[in-house]
Amino acid sequence: MISRVHSAILMGIDAIGSEVEADVSAGRVGDIKLVGLADAAVKESISRIQSALRNSGYRWPGPKVTINLAPADIKKESSGFDLPIAIAACLAGGLFQSEKLDDYLILGELALDGRVRPVKGALASAMLAAQKGLKGLIVPADNAPEAAVVDNIEVIPVNFLSDAVAFLTGQLPIEPASVDLQEVFAVAGKYDVDFADVRGQESAKRALIIAAAGHHNILMIGPPGSGKTMLAKRIPSILPPLSLAESLETTRIYSARGLLTPGHSLMAVRPVRSPHHSTSSAALVGGGVIPQPGEVSLAHHGVLFLDEFPEFARTTLEMIRQPLEDRCVTIPRVHSTLKFPASIMLVAAMNPCPCGYYTDPKRPCKCSSITIERYLARISGPLIDRIDIHIEVPPVPWKHLRAEGPAGEGLNSTQMRDMVVAARQVQHRRFDGDGGITTNATMAPRQIRKFCKLDQAGESLLKQALTEMGLSARAHDKILRIARTIADLEGQENIQSQHVAEAVQYRRLDRRL
């Protein structure tokens, strides 16, 4: 007897349909065969499934069982096939019958005692079930909240193998999981940090407002202890709240990597990823035999913070040049090409020299000019060109460090976010329906020519800056994009000369430190 069960294969962050087929042959002698390009983790599942069935009160259906995972030309590596294999084997062996089987997609890893453990990619699998027109899916209870955010499908949470069998046979009605998205965003969409904690650094806050308003990449240069890391980790608190579409995209990436907290449904706050400078290229941008998203994609719709920027391997840093331009990571393989989203705001921090005190007015620098030049040369010119804003973060003076009340706090996250949101709304109206462009940082040359026109004073100032600083064509476009954002923050329809002047000042590494 042959049985078929709907399941899913995770490819990158997307799920593709799979069928688990089982055939139980009569006779006393035989063996168990698992075919369909399964990896070691899936092949080892047979012993786990047999123990789970036995400890759940079921017997293994027969001595000769053939299990096929279709399509056979795609490698399977997920432990999520445990539950569908167990169900398919029992059905093929005639242990029970079900009329619901064709309506549900099934996922889950089995423990030896029959418990159903969470798996990766439940959200992507729920989206697949909705696309295929299935009634719903049966998933581990810990995965139910993330799968339940998909509309028009039933998400059946199960804790034990026996629960899944009882539901399929109609012996146990299970209420589908549901999620109140408004409550999720209200409760979880809060940040624990605030820019009010940052003493001084009002000029740096101004630059961060501009960066957040236009989704510009930013590099902060300053001595140790000046507050670069503190500033970077508070940037998400001034970005616009995540929309449902953005939250689903980000959650799908974390679900595929197994990084979503069990029992949580959505990423309600913008992610901040801060990999160590020893991170490999594959860990940063993604990769592997079966490619997985890296830190760049895990920061999708959030912030990728690279501290000690020059300490990263040069080859590793060069890998992020393409994602910064294309807002995605493309990983080609022989059998397929996977694309991971990577719409990030890059925030980098570095010392001005190896000892860190070149720009510190109170502590002497011990580095020679050649040493400083070599240190800065660790970051290539093309990569610097792709970072819109370069600012200096000086040490915090005593009077600002110990100031009390509003004078000491300066701008807080709420005030800064209000300015950012207002500027983003201007950009949304400007680019509405214009090729998917939503922020100034992503303007194509055509939009720059249309929306970044300068008056005579602005033209003269920009010409002087490009001539004296030797800026590239890409830096020219960056300055215009930043000037457009500054004008939006001030509610100005046209870019004025002071906006261009401020934008030029943010190209710090195009001048000598």
Chain segment 155-165, per-residue pLDDT in tens? 999 999 999 99
Chain-centroid distance, C-alpha 424: 21
What's the order of all strands across the beta sheet hosting 218-221? 272-273, 303-306, 345-350, 218-221, 389-392
Cα(120)–Cα(153) distance, rounded to whole angstroms?
19
Q: Which residues contact 346 (CB under 8 A, 6 or more apart)?
A: 217, 218, 303, 304, 306, 320, 324, 387
For 2, 191, 323, 386, 390, the CA distances from 233, given in Å and listed in that order, are 55, 10, 21, 21, 17
- The answer for 258, left when phi > 0, alpha when psi is -120 to 50, beta otherwise, is left
Helix (H) / strand (E) containing 485? helix 473-489
For the segment 18-68, what is each residue's pLDDT rounded down to a tens digit?
Answer: 999 999 887 655 678 888 888 887 888 888 999 999 999 998 887 789 999
Instruction: Assign 158 to helix, strand or coil.
Output: strand
> What domains, with CATH codes, occur in the chain?
2-168 (3.30.230.10), 187-411 (3.40.50.300)
The mean predicted confidence, pLDDT, of the chain is: 90
Count of other CB atoms within 10 angstroms of residue 267: 28
End-to-end C-alpha distance for the chain, whole angstroms = 76
Give the pLDDT of residue 405.
65
For the segment 251-292, what is each residue's pLDDT rounded down to a tens digit?
Answer: 999 999 989 887 788 888 899 999 999 999 999 999 877 788
Asked whether residue 513 carries a pLDDT value surpassing 50, the answer given is no
Q: What's this model's pTM, rounded to 2 decimal places?
A: 0.89
Give the pLDDT of residue 305.
96
Q: Which residue has the tokens 């490698």?
A: 75
Helix (H) / strand (E) containing 232? helix 228-232
For 153, 309, 331, 334, the CA distances from 125, given in Å and listed in that order, are 11, 37, 22, 25
Contact between residue 238 and residue 417 where contact means Cβ atoms under 8 Å apart:
yes
